Amino acid sequence: MNRFEGLIAAPFTPMDKNGEVVYDAIAGYYDFLEKNKVVGAFINGSTGEGVSLSQKEKMKVVELWTARSKEKKTVKVINLVGGTSYKECIENAQHATENGVDAIALLAPFYFKPSGAKQLAEFCAIVAQAVPQTPVYFYHIPVLSGCFVPMFDFLQEAAPIIPNLAGIKYTHEDFMDFLSCHHFMDGKFEMMWGRDENMLSALVLGTRSAVGSTFNYAAPLYYQMIEAFDNGDLPKARKLQQQSIDMIRLLGKYGGIATGKAYMKYIGMDLGQFRLPIKNMAEKSYQRFAADVISLNMQEYFSVL
């Protein structure tokens, strides 16, 4: 299982004004990520509205991302296969594997929640054994899944029963747990960081790959931060992390996750809006948003079309 090195974007799902998926935009989206040196695409996740898509839609999204990946072989594809029904997860996992994804990811069941690490590991194992040759990542995002099982506990239960477990996409702020996972079994499992706004802290703890929504539109910012950290220039790295924080603050100011598509529109890629129940930005608010973006003075850090 080859590890990732660099930024893995969580792509938005392109939508038209009626909320239908614009499948024709996916090939160009892949090329855009490639141009900005993004090494992976984590599709059908939170940013990609995977929980708001139908089974058919998610599968079609997989088919198009993997088709482009087979042609270009530059941006690897990780598909989030679901979380509430292991039957549905297996169906998605097998379909994704048949289409050539580089890995799949699993989310904790978020309605009937596991009572502990053992139940969570057993749930994941049922899906993983259906695609034994495919690397499997666990997507830890308790703020949305409501599953606050420590990942160190999860790895202790999962390691013996999931041979193809590759690592964890860690979207939480428990640095103690994260570091313990990083050291578990002499670093056997890849720990992908999932909080863009404190990625520098994760670099200090040893991460070499990260999954994030802001990597779609500000990949150069984070690559410069990684370079500064690797060169020992911590003042510059901290300055760039603050630039990331200032950028991300606008997400909260203008309503949350849907603001990410406003950033994409700002750099020239209109991907439509999010599906309900996500609140989208009104056009008059977009004008204020654009003015705020200009005030950040970060044009050099945006991804280029």
Task: Answer whether 240's CB lies under 8 Å from 221's CB.
Answer: yes
Rounded CA separation 83/221 (Å): 32
Q: Coil, strand or helix: which one is 36?
A: coil
Q: Is 279 designated active site?
A: no
Query: Exposed, middle or buried, 156 (CB in 10 Å: 0-12/13-18/19+)?
Result: middle
* Tokens standing for residue 86: 């292991």
* Tokens standing for residue 251: 């997400």
Residue 155 corresponds to which amino acid?
Answer: L
Burial track 35-64 (b if 16+ CB lie within 10 A, e otherwise): ebebbbbbbbbbbbbbbbbeeebbbebbbb
Rounded CA separation 211/192 (Å): 7
* Tokens standing for residue 40: 């992976």
Rounded CA separation 265/300 (Å): 17
Q: Coil, strand or helix: which one is 109?
A: coil
Show Cβ contacts of residue 18 under 8 Å, excluding neighbours closer than 6 positions: none
Give the residue carrying structure tokens 């003042």.
235
Catalytic residue among 29, 137, 139, 223: 139
Describe the chain by its helix, strand, coil percentages, rounded to 5: 50, 15, 35
Task: Answer whether 289's CB lies under 8 Å from 31's CB.
Answer: no
Q: Is 169 designated active site?
A: yes
User: Helix axis angle, 259-267 relative to 215-230, nearest 10°?
Assistant: 80
Catalytic residue among 29, 86, 137, 169: 169
Rounded CA separation 78/84 (Å): 19
Active site residues: 139, 169
